[in-house]
Amino acid sequence: VLDLVIRGGHIITAEGEFDADLGVVGERIAALAAPGTLSEARRTIDAAGLLLLPGLVDPHVHMGHRIFLEGAWVPAADDFATGSATAAAGGTTTVIDFAIQRDLGPVETVAARRGEADGRVVLDYALHPALTRATPENLAAIPALLEAGCPSLKLYMIYRKQGRMADDAVLFNALAVTRGRGLVGVHAENSAIAEYNTELAIQEGRTTPIDFARSKPNYVEAEAINRALFLAEETGGTLYIFHLSARESLTLVAMARARGVKVIAETCAHYLTLSDEVYEREDGHRFICSPPLRSRADVEALWEGVDSGLLSVVSSDHCGFDSAAKDRGRADFTKVPNGLPSVGARLPLIYTHGVLAGRITLPRMVDLLSTAPAKIFGLYPQKGALLPGSDADLVLVDPGARRTVSASSWDSPVDWTPFQGMELGGWPVATIARGVVRAEEGRCRRDGEASGRFLPRSLGGVVRAPGPQARHTAGGGERGLGAVRAKKEESS
């Protein structure tokens, strides 16, 4: 007997869309069957008129983040417990966070970060170790990180003064050591130029939010990406570019791919839905994140990159600093902790600005938000798939519901949202993680235990960067949506 049947939903996977019943036994998907054919179950959810997607995988979040600013640590308002609850409320069932090296060795840093998450996190999670020291001991620890289930590193090419920067020697060696069995992700910004521009801005009294964006123009990102691509080519390693934001960077990725460099690029929901005009607003300082929000031309170029397949993933880069933390830099951008709270908003943002706007199809959305990150980071088909045997990680979406965003749209301790006032569709009705309803209507259910588990991963020689791809021309999404709307009308 099945434990759960989700009946009559319109299933969207990265490959296509169809109507089916979905059956769950324990924590796993047991069956997909023609509508109306799965009846015997302990519990039934009626999904008529709803979209049923694989639970979203967010491969770039910072839960319980802290930044060293003006001689002290500034903590985010959320932690693994509350941050993952917000993620669940937004349709996400797996998050990948970071283990950023501070005083410990890389392996010990992973263990310490697991100590912060285990017993508190409500979703399954994995970690990208971030190495911050250019020492032989650090590089020698990489094989042990692979053994510990963390085959994807993140290296900061900036934040020297915060002690987070890994220099080019670490990048070169990490790409070489992980070749064929892991990947190296980069936060790509040219440190020297950004630091120089910042010092000059301070000296000249230019410290407003738009001055922040001007201190890190597109070329600051593009130069660092160019350098990282060269090192990836030289070593044969796989490069993952976190939060690509500038149109020049896309051109570099396209050229590198054409000559066979193994590179995978991600952008984030905010770079696709906000532009640098917000820095002129009275609350512009709150939008400070790195890389900065870009021009409307960049936003359009990023959507083009999504369409062409140059961009494979849309993550959140969630960072939960509350308004008090952000407002300390109201008059001086150097005092603002960087990052935007966005983990709950990723699905409605991309559904509305992507699918409803006719830019991408529903299957392409599922690929960007779930399947591609699961495949790239070694979680597929346990995650990112609706296959018999996959974890029963599911999200039900009402394609017709529209709501205006506010900080209270999700269960979150963060008291503001960069998307305030946006009218969005694509809100999750329910999020199911390993067979358990974890969130409903934007609220995370805390009645269950904090049951998230650490996901050890392996990329065991099968890290594949996408090759040249067919364009993901929009149009099917509208068709798909039309079909669901028609179905809803029929059933009502």
Where do contacts with ligand URP occur on this chain (CB under 6 A)?
62, 65, 67, 289-290, 317, 319, 338-339
**Rounded Cα distance, 367 and 357, in Å:** 17
Residue 170's binding partner out of Zn ion, ligand URP, none, with CB under 5 to 8 Å set by partner kind: none
Residue nearest to ligand URP (CB): 339
Residue 375's binding partner out of Zn ion, ligand URP, none, with CB under 5 to 8 Å set by partner kind: none
**Rounded Cα distance, 483 and 485, in Å:** 6
Closest contact distance (angstroms) between CB of 328 and ligand URP is: 15
Closest contact distance (angstroms) between CB of 32 and ligand URP is: 38
Residue 215's binding partner out of ligand URP, Zn ion, none, with CB under 5 to 8 Å set by partner kind: none
| Residue among 266 and 317 whose Cβ is closer to Zn ion | 317
Buried b (16+ CB within 10 A) or exposed e, 392-427: bbbbbbbbeeeeebebebbbbbbebbbbeebebbbb
Closest contact distance (angstroms) between CB of 186 and ligand URP is: 12
Contact 360, 479 (CB under 8 A): no
**Secondary structure string (H, E, C) spanning the chain:** CEEEEEEEEEEECCCCEEEEEEEEECCEEEEEECCCCCCCEEEEEECCCCEEEECEEECCEECCCEEEECCEEEECCCCHHHHHHHHHHCCEEEEEEEEECCCCCHHHHHHHHHHHHCCCCCCEEEEEEECCCCCHHHHHCHHHHHHCCCCEEEEECCCCCCCCECCHHHHHHHHHHHCCCCEEEEECCCHHHHHHHHHHHHHCCCCCHHHHHHHCCHHHHHHHHHHHHHHHHHHCCCEEECCCCCHHHHHHHHHHHHCCCCEEEEEEHHHHHCCHHHHHCCCHHHHCCCCCCCCHHHHHHHHHHHHHCCEEEEECCEECCCHHHHHCCCCCHHHCCCCECCCCCHHHHHHHHHHHCCCCCHHHHHHHHHHHHHHHCCCCCCCCCCCCCCECCEEEECCCCEEECCHHHCCCCCCCCCCCCCEEECCEEEEEECCEEEEECCEECCCCCCCCCECCCCCCCCCCCCCCCCCCCCCHHHHHHHHHHHHHHHHC
Closest contact distance (angstroms) between CB of 263 and ligand URP is: 20
Tell the residue number behind the tokens 């791919």, with chain if given.
257
Closest contact distance (angstroms) between CB of 370 and ligand URP is: 22
Q: How many CB atoms lie within 10 A of CB 314?
A: 29
| Residue among 32 and 69 whose Cβ is closer to Zn ion | 69
Residue 379's binding partner out of ligand URP, Zn ion, none, with CB under 5 to 8 Å set by partner kind: none
Closest contact distance (angstroms) between CB of 109 and ligand URP is: 15
| Residue among 21 and 298 whose Cβ is closer to ligand URP | 298
| Residue among 106 and 480 whose Cβ is closer to ligand URP | 106
| Residue among 133 and 488 whose Cβ is closer to ligand URP | 133
| Residue among 292 and 426 whose Cβ is closer to ligand URP | 292
Closest contact distance (angstroms) between CB of 409 and ligand URP is: 21
| Sequence letter at residue 60 | H
Closest contact distance (angstroms) between CB of 67 and ligand URP is: 6
Closest contact distance (angstroms) between CB of 275 and ligand URP is: 16
Closest contact distance (angstroms) between CB of 109 and Zn ion is: 16
Residue 181's binding partner out of ligand URP, Zn ion, none, with CB under 5 to 8 Å set by partner kind: none
| Residue among 12 and 343 whose Cβ is closer to ligand URP | 343
| Residue among 266 and 391 whose Cβ is closer to Zn ion | 266
Residue 146's binding partner out of ligand URP, Zn ion, none, with CB under 5 to 8 Å set by partner kind: none
Pairing of strands 239-241, 152-156: unpaired
Sites of contact with Zn ion (CB under 5 A): 187, 317
Residue 67's binding partner out of Zn ion, ligand URP, none, with CB under 5 to 8 Å set by partner kind: ligand URP
| Residue among 47 and 61 whose Cβ is closer to Zn ion | 61
Closest contact distance (angstroms) between CB of 189 and Zn ion is: 8
| Residue among 317 and 367 whose Cβ is closer to Zn ion | 317
Residue 113's binding partner out of Zn ion, ligand URP, none, with CB under 5 to 8 Å set by partner kind: none
Residue nearest to Zn ion (CB): 187
| Residue among 181 and 270 whose Cβ is closer to ligand URP | 270
Contact 341, 318 (CB under 8 A): yes
